[in-house]
Structure 1
């Protein structure tokens, strides 16, 4: 979204997108329809293999703005700028998770060490105040002046347009039979999909559940639903290029993650018209939403919140949240550039 906005904003003559991945998936292909956008795939298994390609690209050009959103790349860009290898008028890093609160095993020490290379950025964007505090505390306040909270963007117009696509007839019939809750995410431990099944078990007969996503835990989650005689109550969609029609058809949203930087799926559910989203206490700033209900990581608590009828003021609460928190890509880009400019002026003074 940010790259597309940068390409069409008139501010930048050229936008280079460097993609760290093993193979091209096609997800970003439509960006190349813009005449001033270039996609540069590293075709690498990991950062070490990608680093030579990354260094070569960064050294060949002088950029007005460099933006990255991966801890490894953030650290590399920061140290390269200090060494004058990276020539960037403005360098912005975005934090993608509450990294110090997650257990990365033996990799954790290496990841934490990367923050010692931070400091040559003009701005470090945190998605929530909780994330900002975590980075600030774990870097002993060294980056305090550069850490700013800017909430995530979401392309509301695009989501609403594709959310109108028809669902398969068999799915529509099941959704008409009773209200459904929608869950969306990768089937991995940090997303805690088993908790969604446990929650549905407490709501047996009241709701069905749509689970959107794929991942290594999918077979285990399907087996677990079967063991609780819930197979007919759950629609497993797998990975979807367009999950939004399913969200638009759901009565409520559910998020069961253990930890999140910020769950952008909440904004996507709101954009689709869902009026109540029940979430575990997995990220900061969720308490600012009026139609988001935060609970402990407990199936009984989640079920109680989902089972409560929505109030008469729901449309007003939903509209308030849309106005307040559904930040578009142009606003996000402007906010980053403005904060970076203010921070640079403060350093100059």
Structure 2
């Protein structure tokens, strides 16, 4: 009779691919790994299971690059089925391996509904385990982008060793990262955006980002949601694509609520609050910006929201801030804002330290 957990884990590891196909059926094999969203069998590519013994480790071991969680195939069985009692986990493993059962106890008797899981929960865990940005490389990175006063309202955090995996054939790396929480209109975290940073400081080639292929990645439920700076249910909102773009505008409009949708497509699909009466579209100066502006103007008009485009002189407002400076950005925005918002938001910003 196989009773020892380590022996069960070893036997499962010999059948690692079969275990993954059964319990992580929403994933797929790529090379020597099984890729899936997480240990709860969510579609995606964050978690990888080693299918063969290698110098990097034994078969059956897994790691979630988004959350740093790791374990063996017994953990896969437990989490994918929502089991809590190890007796039930062992019995399910024996059933899969066609081994005798330990005792005549019904399998899955004590199974409970799975806890909140998937990319949303992974995003919440990552944000929770991160730190304030003050005095960190995140603050230095933003200063290097010309954002001297970071009015983020708690939406940004710092992780000193955030996991980054180039692809399934390469080992996981760790880099310091700026972590931004993506929220819905009720303030619930639905995802996070990660910007991996160069620990050696700001440079003009990568603009302070880590020397990796994709220094920006998001996970979770992004569509319709955004990284928010300020109240989501105010009557006036500025919405744009990039985090740095919106933080640049916050330098001169620190009390005006803003939302970074993270991409042009997500900006066009962002959910608008029922309390909104005026929407400023902080567009980028490119073809995608033209499309976003047209879509949001039409959406706003349909629901009776006044929509006003804000156009940068260069590619985006962070570039404007970095090249022309704070006073020039303030002057340019003064000419584009509604008069009542100039007195409500822009003039007040001049006295904010």
Q: What TM-score, normalized to structure 1?
A: 0.26
Q: Which has the higher helix share?
A: 1
Structure with max Cα Rg? 2
Which one scores higher on RCO, CA 8 angstroms, separation ≥ 6?
1
